[in-house]
Amino acid sequence: MLCALFTCADLAMAVPNPLLLETPREIDNSYQVDRTDYEQHIRQLQHILAVRAKPHAKSALLSTRIRIVNQGLAGAFSTQGGIYLDIALLDLLSQFADELSLAEVKDDVYHQMEFNLAYAAALHGSKQLTLLDSYNVVDYAEEQWQYLWEEKQRSEQVIFNNILGFIIAHEMSHILLGHERTVQSRFPDIGDRKPDNMAWVQHRRTIELEADELAARICLHALLQPVMLVPWLDLNETRRRYYGKSAEYPTAAQRITVVNKAYEDIVGIQTKDIDLNEVSPLAPHKDVMQHDILLFLEEFRKVRGFRQSLLIGLDEMMLELLGNGISAADVGGFLYEFIQQKRDLLNGARDNTEVDEAIQAVERGAKGKSVDIAKLTDNLEDAGIGEYVMQMFRDQFETMPINWDELLSQLQILRAAPVQFAQGLDYTYFFANTRLRWQPDVFQALQSALPESEVKAKRLKPYEIGHPVRNALPTYEQRLHILQTWDGEYP
């Protein structure tokens, strides 16, 4: 489970088995191994959650039996004082943690979005969820792969633990808050527990939010971070829509609000203003049909492919400039300007009639006819385009002879304005993934060329064998010890 691969050069050739969604697992050897693994994780998390819990929560956390079932539904529930987690849920979480950790190591938010969409597509279609291709660069040395793989492992464990910890705490909260009893007394007839019954929907939403808030508190007292839930909520929303259960559950925004409340009370800060659109490529209000999902997915793959190929091109260009004796800081400045120009171009113009006039002029130029450059410059200025691409055009007009064909193709991109590609051009991604990250001096000089506003990209640490970016994780015993000796206060 947690050892899913990061594409070590030779491992990359092996195609992992796809995860079969919403189907019971075959009871074979790998089932037994995974189940034992999961059971150990769950027991450890029960102890970790219990260490600092209030007395009655503590004894419930320690004594409640958590059983793994194999019904082929990626869900969790609690009934009659017991908690049931389906192995399909644990498998899905495991694969999710695998992909999210990769996205984290690569600082690639698009990777996660693509996975969530691939999940939606698989759920509606083949039910087979394969891992995304993890990297586009395969000629790293073995020790470099090892380094990245360890980075990913650490991140993956954190994600898996935080989310599974929250799932357990959430089910435990239903038990602690006596929700099953209130449901039975208020809705004794199971037939009334339907999404078209407003009273039921309201009640269900209320108890889910209550369980979320208490779970967030239990987790924070155990030094687990419920904020990791956000992308996971998105995946779950997809599943609920698939089963037509969306209405019964609170929205992701409502759930984040109650989690934030717990953060405010216990940690003293809000997690951060999370823009849900940033993590969810699906419109929250709309039932996305299968063909929409496939369309979205195709779009994401295109943007991701574009970023990857641009990255490879930029790396080559930077190596060449460095090889020609240009200083790393100057290369960084050049890189910044180049990406800004590209971004301006892809973002398009405010006024396309001016762009159309410019295109007609350039077409005349391409046919060898005379072009009024001053008029052309005016057109572009009036079109309302970014300053970097405006400067690029000015430079091109001053270069003799003017390359009309290249100008034309640039203006056509400007006219088409494929903005989704512009959004894919972020410095954090390029800086996190450039091969120059393996050369600390060069990397830091490149970073120094970025403006202060590029906070995340400027904060990235270079890769150095023997110096992991992420700290080593404490063992289970160390975590227990930390919790036992902690005064319970967040700094």
Q: Which is nearer to Zn ion, 78 or 434 (CB)?
A: 78
Which 349-368 positions form the footprint of Zn ion (CB under 5 A)?
none
Q: What is the dihedral of CA 412, 413, 419, 420, to 10 degrees?
A: 130
- The strand pairing partners of 68, in sequence order, are 85
Closest by CA to 437, choosing from 315, 321, 313, is 315
Q: Which is nearer to Zn ion, 200 or 296 (CB)?
A: 200
Main-chain dihedrals φ then ψ at residue 84, nearest 5 degrees: -125, 125
Which 197-216 positions form the footprint of Zn ion (CB under 5 A)?
208, 211
Q: Which is nearer to Zn ion, 194 or 481 (CB)?
A: 194
Residue 97 tokens, joined: 């943690």
Quote the distance between the C-alpha of residue 52 and its chain's center.
31
Q: How far is the CB of 257 from Zn ion (least distance, A)?
A: 16
Q: Which is nearer to Zn ion, 208 or 357 (CB)?
A: 208
What's the CA gap between 368 and 353, in Å, rounded? 23
| Long-range contacts of the stretch 295-298 (C-beta < 8 A, 24+) | 296/117, 297/114, 297/117, 297/118, 297/120, 297/121
Q: How far is the CB of 174 from Zn ion (least distance, A)?
A: 6
Q: How far is the CB of 78 from Zn ion (least distance, A)?
A: 8
One symbol per residue from 211 to 240: x for binding Zn ion (CB under 5 A), - otherwise; what is it? x-----------------------------
Q: Which is nearer to Zn ion, 211 or 229 (CB)?
A: 211
What's the CA gap between 230 and 238, in Å, rounded? 13
One symbol per residue from 138 to 177: x for binding Zn ion (CB under 5 A), - otherwise; what is it? ----------------------------------------
Q: Which is nearer to Zn ion, 18 or 195 (CB)?
A: 195
Q: Which is nearer to Zn ion, 174 or 342 (CB)?
A: 174
3-state SS assignment for residue 20: strand
Please say whether the beta carbons of 480 and 47 come within 8 A. Answer: yes
Q: How far is the CB of 211 from Zn ion (least distance, A)?
A: 5
Q: How far is the CB of 215 from Zn ion (least distance, A)?
A: 9
Please say whether the beta carbons of 251 and 208 come within 8 A. Answer: no
Q: Which is nearer to Zn ion, 233 or 389 (CB)?
A: 233
Please say whether the beta carbons of 45 and 64 come within 8 A. Answer: no
Q: How far is the CB of 244 from Zn ion (least distance, A)?
A: 18
One symbol per residue from 314 to 343: x for binding Zn ion (CB under 5 A), - otherwise; what is it? ------------------------------
Strand runs labelled E in 220-317? none
CA geometry: angle 374, 376, 380, nearest 5 deg? 115
Please say whether the beta carbons of 81 and 175 come within 8 A. Answer: yes
Q: How far is the CB of 91 from Zn ion (least distance, A)?
A: 20
Q: How far is the CB of 171 from Zn ion (least distance, A)?
A: 7
Main-chain dihedrals φ then ψ at residue 346, nearest 5 degrees: -70, -25
| Parallel/antiparallel/unpaired status of strands 128-129 and 19-20 | antiparallel
Q: Which is nearer to Zn ion, 66 or 113 (CB)?
A: 66
Residue 323 makes CB contacts below 8 A (sequence gap 6+) with none
Residue 165's H or E segment, with its range, is helix 142-176
Q: Which is nearer to Zn ion, 197 or 439 (CB)?
A: 197
What's the CA gap between 210 and 187, in Å, rounded? 18
Q: Which is nearer to Zn ion, 91 or 208 (CB)?
A: 208
Give residue for tokens 């203003």: 273
How many residues sit in the footprint of Zn ion (CB under 5 A)? 2
Q: How far is the CB of 82 from Zn ion (least distance, A)?
A: 14
Please say whether the beta carbons of 203 and 186 come within 8 A. Answer: yes
Q: How far is the CB of 152 from Zn ion (least distance, A)?
A: 30
Q: How far is the CB of 76 from Zn ion (least distance, A)?
A: 8
> Which residues are near Zn ion by CB under 5 A?
208, 211
